[in-house]
Chain A
Amino acid sequence: MTLRYASNAEMPEGLAVRIEELSLRYKINVESKMTLKNAIMRAGRGEKRRVRTIEAVKNLSLDIPHGTVMGVVGANGAGKSTLMRAIAGILPPTEGRIIVNGKVSTLLALGVGFNGTLSGRDNIILGGLAAGLEREELEERFDDIASFADLPNGFIDMPMRTYSAGMYGRLAFSVAVNMTPDILLIDEALSTGDAAFKEKSFEKMRQLCLEARTIIIVSHALGTLNELCDKALWMHQGNALAFGDATKVTEKYLEFLNVGKVPSALEDF
């Protein structure tokens, strides 16, 4: 964790997130397995470790005011998820810095449910405690979370490995929005719920926006983004290509994709 509580960080009043010249690079192993055995054998042969450096985000600067709903679009591998993880403080920046004002709640590729043998209830408590909530606070919110997720009868106390992908997504979303975050990060998680749940999610997000909370959504569903977001960021291979009014950015993105406004791209998921 790279928390450095800045007494010296300057942050204009109305900003939720300030990103300053952020670059994120990391090395990935090209080899099949990272094992001591391989390392020793490689050293014996005098080979070097084969790695590839990925430049996930390149020199990005961005100010996100409180109460913004920002969509992030871009092709696969554009660096969207990496950016989200950096804002959440999970991945440390390689260059530049990120200042975050408020409590961040993450819904990144379904955060809860890391332990499939435990019930949904246990996973909620563990995830919440890791996020820094108090046990009592969690117990209080538990009913809200469970009723929002609205899982089929009794599933909340079943091991999470028995959940369907949709149920998984519902629970994860429910946890993330009920943590009363100041900043909510959602990465491709809306796609799992059914139509009714999706509508409920939108409702909840609109409500969070009215409370001047900030939401950042990564999604390929441009229709949803247009409906929910007032701002959008278009990323491509680590670069920010456009930032601004959501409909305009998504329009540009669509143009780039060279597909025009065909229903399949606008249609949700």
Chain B
Amino acid sequence: MTTTDTTAAVGAVFGQRDPDARGYFGAYGGRFVPETLVAPVAELEEAYLAARADSAFRQELVILLDRVVGRPTPMYEAGRWSEQLGGARVFLKREDLAHTGAHKINNALGQALLAVRMGKRRVVAETGAGQHGVATATACALLGLACEVYMGAEDMARQALNVVRMRLLGAKVTGVDAGRRTLKDAINEAMRDWVTNVYDTYYLLGSVLGPHPYPLMVREFQSVIGREARRQILDLTGQLPAAVVACVGGGSNALGIFDGFVDDAQVRLIGVEAGGEALVSGRHAARFATGAVGVLQGTRSIILQDLHGNIEPTHSVSAGLDYAAVGPEHAWLRDLGRAEYTWVSDDQALQAFQRVARLEGIIPALESAHALAHVETVAAGCDPRAVLLVNLSGRGDKDVEIARDRGFGVDPAAAGGASGSESKA
């Protein structure tokens, strides 16, 4: 495709599935922000709607996606893994091969361009696993914006590699010591910064969360994944996938790929949440399994909370899924019956992480490994001619220390003859 064709394609996607005028997807979404942020959020909406309607903005974005991100990312048939699963043909949408190593860059570049267009000089962002922080730091370096990233102290420890990457890229990384010191606490602190510096600062939120227009805007910047994937899978197989599977933290990689197939009613859309250690309060992040409707950080959605409305602590082996709320559009898609949601445990995700590395030569992010783990279940009951599509949303370099600490990637001799996967089984 030429850049002009792609620009037109981007334009064709924008504005096709907007929430209502108040930013609601069904009963979810809206704008639950402190008074000081009401006007800035409205200003952001206005700026975004104008930008997405402007072909010059879209072309600038497409050029960056082509030449900086390296899009389109490949569609890869995981032959050896599929064979072992014994059912369907499994295809991987290789967002791990996007510049900076995850899908996050698609959104970061889109919003950073918007920040420049709005005349903002400074960007703040939150990050969990650090992938959004790295993507934001990259976009800011590229476009000459000052950048400060808030990251929970717990996440800084478990994703130390990404902290160094952000600092190398010129971002200031500020640790957050509140709460469980993870993604939710980082978002609180980023919002506190934004409300204090709102005139010159742009808040670059990393997922389909927060007040309207963020859930819409982030999904539209990520929809390039689904648009490419639909074309690629049809080119390669001549058919639509039976199911599209993606992990769901806030849910931006999932909505990005679902967007390409949401009108294809025969395609199952499956989101996979973090089941953590057990479905017990504080030990997982499976919002659809045990959550309830509530308001957190600007949006109404399904949230892990106690009977008194306090947000429950969460756990996942993957920092990017370790969050108490799910994006509002996911809650709506579930209500509509259009998407279904399930969870896999820390251990299941780690097993899939190991298997895909050994069988395909790909070390996936632990977030993405949750989707891979669930595909193993789906494939087991499938017709061998069926096609399954997984969004491999990020690469796993950041996770190798966690895997090693859990007994994977250890020399079999040094580990007393038991491989990690066997000792964990």
Q: Do A and B bind each other?
A: no
